[in-house]
Structure 1
Amino acid sequence: MKQRSNPMHYAPLSVVIFSSATMAGDWVTLFDGTSLDGWRAAENPKAFTVKDETLVVNGERGHLFWSGEEDSDEQWDDFEFEAMVRTKPGANSGVFFHTMFQESGWPDVGYECQVNATHGDSIKTCSLYGIVNNNMPPHVDDDWVKLRIRVAGRHIQTSIDSQVVIDWWEPKDRKGSKRLSAGTFAIQAHDPKSIVEYKFIKARHLDSKDMTRAERLDVRLSTQEVPEKEWWNRMDHGPFVSCSTGYPMDYATANKGLNLFLKNGWVASFDTGLLRVGAVWQGGLDWDGVSYNGSHGGHPGAVGTPIYGSLEGPGWKVNGSWEDPRPSKPWGPLPADMARWGGLMRVGEESILNYTVGQARVLEHHGVEQSESGNVLVRTLEIFPAATPEIMQLRVADATRGQGIKVLSDGRGARVGDTRFAIRGSDASTFEVSGTSLVLSIDSTVDGPSGSIMLALAATRDDIKPSVLASAPPPNRLFTRMFSGSEPDPAMFPAIYPEEIVIQAKVADNGDETFVVDDIPVPFENPWNSYMRIGGFDFVDDDTAAVCTWNGDVWLVTGLREMGEIRWKRFASGLFETLGLAVRDGQIFVHGKDQITRLIDFNNDGEADLYDNFCNLVNTTPSFHDFAFDLQVDGEGNFWFGKAGPVRGGGRGFEDSLNEHHGTVIKVDKTGRDLEVFSTGLRAPNGIGISPDGQVVTAGDNEGTWVPHCKLHWMTPGSFQGVVPLAHRSETPSDYNKPLCWFPMSVDNSSGGQTWVTSSKWPWTGELLHLSYGQSSIYRVMKEEVNGQVQGGVFRVPVQLGSSAMRGRFHPADGQLWVCGLKGWQTNAARLAAFQRVRWTGRTPKNPTSIAAVEDGIKISFSVNLDRELAEDTGSWAVNCWDYVWGPMYGSPEVSALNPNLEQIELAKKKEIRVEEHDEMVVESATLLDDGKTVHLKLKNMQPVMQMHVQCDLESTDGDVIITDIWNTVHELGTN
């Protein structure tokens, strides 16, 4: 087709690639090879002829419009179109869609899918002409190829022989006639020299079952009368979401809630800590909480009235009582020898729960079925035999607020008007009412079909009056057919996020810089409206990273080796505020508030099929500040993470839900079956560091109650870091483990993690880097040890990041530092999130390398030889110092270290006051030592101080300018 101007040309940042087949309805034959019945020609009818069961298109400009049977002007909105096409050399044609009949000219409405292999027009086959252009022909002349066009919502795909060529989402704000709406098809005759042949032309309408989750979401949002404003309502969270979940009707909050989204808006909420059904209702979740609407006091809850649920306590018991045996109730999981949550298998849109009760393995499924009376909620259990006899009891439901429990086991069913439980299955099962609970007892040694039990409940909201229908036949096994022997059947795990997002990496020019930042653009615009705040990452191999988001996604990011075309693939979803991720032995582990989850892809389709509970021993509360931070692996395969304290809304003080895991750094055994607290007394350790030999554990912290300012902890086993309510000791501590250094607010007002330089392709091998979430900065740490006390300081690495600095890792192949971060609160981050590479250009960094506190001052070494005249000029240096006040208030003033005001300090322990009293430490002399790189500053009144700030303006012997700030802490003085 001839060139035409298009003022709405759209050059997308990202492209979505759809890689799997979809289902659709019945095909409608548009051309049967015998006639052009149903077609209507415009401008040049002679250009369209039928020969040998083929539509031959050749002649002056004209268009053949599909009008349907009896010229019904049939409308097509969401559809698939297919035709076999053969082009002759130099030929041009096209297929229009969402168009309408017009007497002459190029169609003004709709899009054109170009057909052109060798015509002079550079826009080739499968292009959306003038909108999204393809300049490489995907086929050759004289060969028959299958042309396919697919439209679902705003999603357009064109392909040749199943190879997707164009994959594009129309912008939501696109205007004009060249846009999606609905319409018909038209085939174009371009010119007398162009001969193009078509046959087997057909199309089919698509409905929601034929679409991907992303397309269904797009259609739902685009057809709303009142558009959703909040991102959490626009986001497709997946088939399930893990979060602390509240319910009405006195049903107990699930601290480790797993909400399964069923058909017709029904939600089954399962408590993975207690292995009970918390509640079942119709209406979704309200998405309250800090990771959604930013609330500092709530968490998600049921929208709607539950039709049944359970009270606080175990969902199962084995040969014992219903007493809650948890040592730290109500926060932790049940003891593993009693029952243990195993995880979730995602089977397409369905979820299979997996856990053990005693020695028996249990698989569970929740679904909605249709009956003559409406929806029926079905809970199906498959119980595998135990090695030794056990009587397992399942608490099916509890009555609240005076509701009654009534059991009818005569097989006749419930009376009209009663809410009905139908229970059918093992002859070795008995049913009873225990207090206000309906209880099912099962002999766990029974095998065979009787091991399956189905619980069906009519979906009404009357009082709970369960009826047991003991005579109904047992269901077929729904779960074991997924497996062949002990290995899962890959065919049972279809992808639900088949789209990939393709983005071009942005590689920076080296210029004259020592370090530059290369950017992997984050797909903030994606088919699921996933809110992309990256909280952790690790490398799966040298070409792929896995990243997690605060709202429970894990994505695979591929193309890192070449840093050209980058592909983002949604790998997992629905996890619980995931702020840490690590890869061990090629497997992805992600850390959420409820557990460390191992993600396994059975069929290598780029999506997790098994969400395996690696370790859920950590206590979880609904507190907004009960953050689970970071995930690191030591050399022995053990996992480490930080656990925040549950501060009150506004950040001051702590909630009553304190338990032994709050404010700690925790080590998890490499098997996942044991957990131990390594260090206590931290407020918000958003990031930790493990040295390569596993001997050193570090953490940052966040200013607040009992934390005067942010600081860098260098921890030892059992050490206490300063937050008294989080000490977890029988006696109140009067002192704390001194940090390596403190930070002024302008340096770090909210700490991230730490990363050891493990690469020989980056400077400072073997040294430590500290990341600042609040200041979006990276700092090189200089550590010394005097009289057994660790101390030191930091200087800033001169790079500008796109978002905060939360996690850092060195790439296994390119040896460069990679950093991720997000924008929540208390940060100067420019973007919502970033994933970037901090690349060393090869130039020698001109910076300090060490700092040492001595009796009469400090010694600072540099990486290059210094100009003596400037180094020994005291005017090239400035040193200031101050102290902070440790106490129960939020933060601390900056008080004089050299002339402390004791009255002011005592006042600061009682209430928040803000003063800045900095002392100048006069530089009496500066001496460049024999190595030419170290300067000894003699300081007046040298003494231990909590905060020192050293500034210098120097030059190297090569004339390079060295302007540096060092922020350090002095606990002990070494010898001169």
Structure 2
Amino acid sequence: MASVHKRLFWWAALFFMQTGCGERHQAITTNDFETAEIGPFVEAGFPFITGPLNSDKLGPGFPERNRSARTLSINLGDSAYVGFDMDLLRWSVAWDGEFLPMVTMSQISYDDFFNKGDQIPSILGTPKIATGEYAGWTIDTPNFRDPRNPIGEADSYRYGPLPEQFGRWNGLYLKGDDIGLSYTIGTTNILEYPSSTRFGTETAFSRTFALDGLQHALYLNVAEVGNELDTEVTGSVLYIYHGEARDTVTAIGVVTNHAEGLRPSIVDNKYITVRFPPTDAPIEATVLMWNGPVAKKDAFLELFSKAKIEMPDFGRGGPAYWTETVYTQGALSPDTAAYVTDILTLPLPNPWKRNVRVADAAFFDGKRAAVVTFSGDVWIVEGIDKNLERLKWRRFASGLYEPMSIEVVDGTVYVFGKEGIVRLHDLNDDGVADFYENFCNEMEQSLHSREWAADMVLAPGGGFYVAKGGIGGSSQRGTILKISADGRHVETVATGLRGPYIGIHPTKGTLSASDQQGNYVPSTPLLLVEKGDYFGFPTTPEAHQATIKSPLTWIPHRVDRSGNSQTWITGGKMGPLDEQMIHFSFARPGLFRVLIDTTSNAHQGGVSFLRANYPAPTQKGTINPADGQLYITGFNLWGSSSQGIAAFVRLRYTGLPFYLPERFKAGAQGIVLRFGVELDSAVAKDPLSFQVKRWNYKRTKEYGSGHFKLDGTPGEESMPVFSSHLSADRKAVLLVVPKMEQVMQMEVLYNLRSADGAVLEDGFWFTVNEVDEIDLTGEGFNQPIDLSINLAADRSGRTADERPSEEKGAQLFKAVACAGCHSTGVKTDGFYGPPFKDLFLSERRFEDGTSGKADADYIRESILTPAKKIVKGYDAEMPSYLGMLSESDVESLVLYIKTL
């Protein structure tokens, strides 16, 4: 790679930065992702990226089975590269020529923001040296079997790190263009320096080692050769000849300070190893490797004769890769509501043309935070104050594997990506990380892109909780795990999750989660999590037999079709939200206030939407310890109603009146909603101010669920409100609703006024897990209330449908979230479903190979049973609207879609 000292800084003409001479310059005030020039994902001057690597098909003579889920793909310079498997501690493949295609999820969407067509990359160049799926080192004897437990059958893939008694990845050091690999084999500490040398048109690869604590003999598995015809040993060099013409050779030579010398040998006519004998003294050695034409053998031998053991001094750090500071100026919202969002402008554009899709943030103190991006970068931002006038952004780390979570503990940054939890160290205090320590990689990780390293939160008392995506190949997919305070132990807390994101109360330890609507997850659930919980997404056949824990609450698809993490508001500076749980919606996007109703034997919850300006999807939130406000991060990719690419915002409490419910109770007498303001008495006592519905979902293998009445038939039950009563303090209403029963979903839509004249037109969505008697006196209803009509009443049916129309269809298209997945034009970026322009009567081709016309019957079928016919090139990710929509609703949508 080009040296860090050779970069051009022409960006300084486009915007202003700190130059080191003390002058101050104008800051970036807005971000425009569409016009910003985004550079390549692989950054010149930085030595590695992390991701999966498929090397199964390297060709004759190479291992047939060679995949690595956690690979450091290292640039050695002069178009030479190596993939280091951090799980098996091996060189999976070394090659020259071209690098890798940028096709993983974070890479392919890096400058094509909504592209989700990810793949597992394979090398683009010419393979030279490779090993198969077994440990890179073994103890006492050569061994070429993977010691990890298989996933399923004995010959299936295995994921996760080596058992610690065999080896442990410690982390990597950076120093300029050089990288140091630190790991432990048994009791032996090893530091490895990979490099390469060009001689003529050929590339030789070298591995320099410093070993300490050799209590047992160690065997380095250098290479696997599957078509060797003959071997030859000359001094410390082993030659393996290949091919029918014997015209290709693999050469392995060892230079060492060990008195007896170290020599390569071949085992089973296939595996090349180097034995390191037990000794009390440290050993240094360089293993030089080359694969090429026999005619270049003498040139390699000459190169080997000059080889020296040279190990860079990694322990003191190296020069900073990024020395520039980028300044931005935030934008404050006017105080128009109780809660408003201020924008912390991102460092885009920047000198490195780096995309900045922020995934999470964590505070060092009140004015300084660490921010991680989905592209694997960590930035440090300073100057976070009331006015946000001068934010200072510095780059701190890069090369991480699709991280979506960051925490700061005692001033040290921890990042959770697919490689595990990485602890970042700045060894020489120059503002850039030099040591990427493996804090914990004990959680398994498959190659599947949807097995996200989704979320990480601090555990009270030390350690972390993490959540892993449920669509993948490892045995820990779809789980919530507890990581011990020392990072060495992983405990399974909960299972059966499709796409979990989590939250925790920082002092009480209340653990929560959401899941992603889809197969076996009929709508968005909010969950309270305890040890041993199973939540219904079957990652194993036996999971179907497990007892499924009920959610705290379900949230309807049209309200939140894609949930994310949760944050508890602590610190006492957020007004009515203090000590409340906040749930983040990626798809809507925005925030929900979560209320919890504790019954005699259960918890049940409900949500209401916190309206504000959300410029991008909302994913994570953290409380600033100084100002006590909620800082929110998020970026776009998977289908959101927002078209914003990324944002970092502050939810700020202004002190103005707040009009969302602050407490609810659901019980035998009906529903109590308590507000933080006094209500207009006449409107609150009018039952026509409220509309109440309820329905159940069905948990099936289909994507999502329709709506079903309590008797199992499709539809929603419109529940009459027989009377409405106002509490003595005029802040709570009791809705007398007949036949309150356990039900997965209830909805209360209300049109109220506050005593100060504000219009309260909104909704509240909740779940009834248990029906207790409500203590009406304790809820502030001191006057006698006649409930006899409630006890005798029957369930009411639906109201009559209104006439279908195109206008109603257009409204429904937005209201039930069709517009979040389908474009009314031809646009496909950012949409999960096919576009609808000229859809009507067009020819549709389906995944099963059939085709058909998109007539009215097809559109209707697609709305009610979408899994029957999947358009070619798309996934079965649309939920059924059976029971959600009336006959008039469906016909109105058909009429509207015909016009597009």
2:271 is matched with: 437
Is 1:699 the counterpart of 2:505? The answer is no
Q: Tell me the amino acid that sits aligned with residue 253 of structure 2.
A: A
Choose the corresponding residue for 2:326, options 494, 501, 504: 501
Partner residue in 2 for 1:525? 349
Q: 1:155 to 1:855 in 2, by over 3 A?
A: closer
* TM alignment of 1:558-569, pairs within 5 A: 558-561=382-385, 563-569=388-394
Q: CA deviation at 1:349?
A: 2.2
Q: Is the 8 A contact 1:641 1:666 kept in 2?
A: yes
Instruction: Tell me the CA shift for residue 298 of structure 1.
Output: 1.7
Q: In 1, are the aligned partners of 2:248 and 2:291 still within 8 Å (CA)?
A: no
CA offset at residue 888 of structure 1? 1.6
- Extract unaligned runs of 5+ from structure 1: 1-20, 25-77, 80-149, 174-227, 483-487, 647-654, 905-916
Distance 1:691 1:156 in 2: 41
Larger RCO, structure (CA 8 Å, separation 6 or more): 2
Matched AA of 2:727:
L
Q: Which of 343-352 and 297-306 deviates more?
A: 297-306
User: In structure 2, do the counterparts of structure 1 residues 334 and 411 end up closer, same or farther at CA, with 3 Å as the change threshold?
Assistant: closer
Answer yes or no: is 1:823 the counterpart of 2:651. Answer: no
Deviations 1:785-822 (A, max 9, x none): 22322112000112121111100111000110110001
CA separation of 1:295 and 1:309: change in aligned 2, threshold 3 A: farther
* Cα RMSD (Å): 3.1
Once the two structures are superposed, the pairs formed by residues 125-164 of structure 1 within 5 Å of their partners are 162=21
CA positional deviation for 1:456:
1.8
Offset at residue 770 of structure 1 (A):
0.6
CA contact (8 A) 1:236 1:530 kept: no
Contact persistence 2:459–2:506 (CA under 8 A): yes
1:359 aligns with 2:159: no
Q: Is residue 265 from structure 1 mapped to residue 79 from structure 2 by the alignment? A: yes
- 2:121 counterpart residue number: 300
CA contact (8 A) 1:419 1:463 kept: no
Q: Report the equivalent of 1:732.
A: 544
1:371 partnered with 2:214: no
Secondary structure, aligned partner of 1:571: strand
Which residue of 385, 399, 420 maps to 1:574? Answer: 399
1:667 equivalent in alignment to 2:491: no
Contact 1:428 1:442 in 2 (8 A): no
Q: What's the CA shift for 1:234?
A: 7.2
Shift in alpha-carbon separation, 1:231–1:747, aligned structure 2, 3 A: farther
Amino acid at match of 1:452: E
Given the alignment of the two structures, is residue 750 of structure 1 paired with residue 574 of structure 2, yes or no?
no
Structure 2, unaligned runs of 5 or more:
59-63, 109-114, 151-156, 242-246, 775-900
Pairing 1:598-617 to 2, within 5 Å after superposition: 598-617=423-442
Is 1:841–2:665 an aligned residue pair? Answer: no
Question: Contact 1:407/1:432 (CA < 8 Å) preserved in 2?
Answer: no
Please give the secondary structure, in 2, of the residue aligned with 1:870.
helix
Partner of 2:222: 396
Structure 1 residue 255, shift from structure 2 partner: 1.0
Q: Following TM superposition, by how much is the alpha carbon of 1:662 offset from its aligned partner in structure 2, in angstroms?
A: 0.7
Shift of 1:692: 2.5
Quickly say closer, same or farther: Cα 1:456–1:740, change in 2 above 3 A. Answer: same
Q: How much has 1:403 moved relative to structure 2?
A: 4.1
Which of 257, 268, 281 is 1:447 aligned to? Answer: 281
Write the distance in 2 (CA, Å) between the matches of 1:261 and 1:970.
57
Aligned pairs for 1:322-721 (under 5 A) are 322-328=144-150, 330-371=158-199, 374-386=202-214, 389-400=215-226, 402-404=227-229, 406-410=231-235, 418-425=249-256, 426=258, 427-435=260-268, 436-448=270-282, 451-458=283-290, 460=292, 475-479=308-312, 481-482=313-314, 488-489=315-316, 492-511=317-336, 513-561=337-385, 563-646=388-471, 657=473, 659-685=474-500, 687-721=501-535
Shift of 1:838: 0.6
Which SS does the other structure have where 2:292 is aligned? Answer: coil
Q: 1:168 to 1:640 in 2, by over 3 A?
A: closer
State whether residues 255 and 262 of structure 2, in contact with CA within 8 Å, keep that contact through their aligned partners in structure 1: no
Residue 931 of structure 1 pairs with residue 729 of structure 2: yes
1:945 to 743, 758, 775: 743
Larger Rg over CA atoms: 1
Contact 1:884–1:893 (CA under 8 A) maintained in structure 2: yes
Count, aligned residues: 734
- Offset of 1:296 from its aligned partner? 4.9
Per-residue Cα deviation, 1:21-67 (whole angstroms, up to 9, x for no partner): 9868xxxxxxxxxxxxxxxxxxxxxxxxxxxxxxxxxxxxxxxxxxx
Distance 2:597 2:296 in 1: 67
* Deviation readout 1:843-894 (Å, 9 max, x if unpaired): 2312211111111311111112222221111111111122111112111112
Shift of 1:406: 2.8
CA contact under 8 A between 2:407 and 2:413: conserved in structure 1?
yes
1:782-801 map, 5 Å: 782-801=595-614
1:582 partner letter: E
Distance 2:334 2:199 in 1: 65
CA distance in 2, matches of 1:241, 1:798: 39
- The one-letter amino acid of 2:123's match is A
1:885 maps to a residue whose letter is K
Other-structure match for 2:717? 919
Contact 2:358 2:374 in 1 (8 A): yes
1:297 to partner: Cα distance = 5.7
For residue 761 of structure 1, the aligned residue among 559, 568, 573 is: 573
Task: Determine if contact 2:723/2:735 at 8 Å carries over to the other structure.
Answer: yes
Cα shift readout 1:747-805 (whole Å, capped 9, x = no counterpart): 21111100001121102221111111111110110101223221120001121211111
Distance (Å, rounded) in 2 between the aligned partners of 1:729 and 1:666: 21
Which AA in structure 1 matches 2:334? D
The 3-state SS of whatever aligns with 2:559 is coil
Mapped contact 1:411–1:468 kept (Cα < 8 A) = no
CA distance in structure 1 between the partners assigned to 2:589 and 2:397 by the alignment: 27
Question: Which one has a larger percent helix, Structure 1 or Structure 2?
Answer: 2
Note closer, same or farther for the CA distance 1:363–1:900 as it changes in structure 2 (3 Å cut). Answer: same
Does the 8 Å contact 1:518/1:837 carry over to 2?
A: yes
Q: CA deviation at 1:933?
A: 1.6
CA gap of 1:516–1:424, structure 2 versus 1, over 3 A, is same
What do the CA deviations read for 1:540-596 (whole angstroms, capped 9, x no partner)?
A: 221111111112111111111251111221111111110111111111000011210
* TM-aligned CA deviation for residue 324 of structure 1: 2.1
Cα distance in structure 2, aligned partners of 1:161 and 1:779: 44
Q: Tell me the distance in 2 between the aligned counterparts of 1:704 and 1:158.
A: 46
Aligned-pair distance for 1:470?
Answer: 13
Contact 1:805 1:820 survives alignment (8 Å): yes
From 671, 684, 690, give the equivalent of 1:871: 684
Q: Distance in 2 between matches of 1:561 and 1:933?
A: 35
Q: 2:695 aligns with which of 882, 889, 894?
A: 882
Amino acid aligned to 1:973: V
Q: Which of 116, 119, 138 is the matching residue for 1:317?
A: 138
Q: Measure the CA separation in 2 of the matches of 1:158 and 1:703.
A: 44
SS of 1:522 mapped into structure 2: coil
Deviates more, 1:155-164 or 1:839-848: 155-164
Q: Is the 8 A contact 2:468 2:499 kept in 1?
A: yes
Is 1:866–1:957's contact at 8 Å kept on the other side of the alignment? yes
Distance 1:715 1:153 in 2: 50
Q: Residue 457 of structure 2 contacts residue 504 of structure 2 at CA under 8 Å; is this kept in 1?
A: yes
Structure 1: distance between partners of 2:255 and 2:19: 52
CA separation in 2, counterparts of 1:412 and 1:875? Answer: 90
- 2:570 and 2:38 map into 1 onto residues whose CA distance is 42
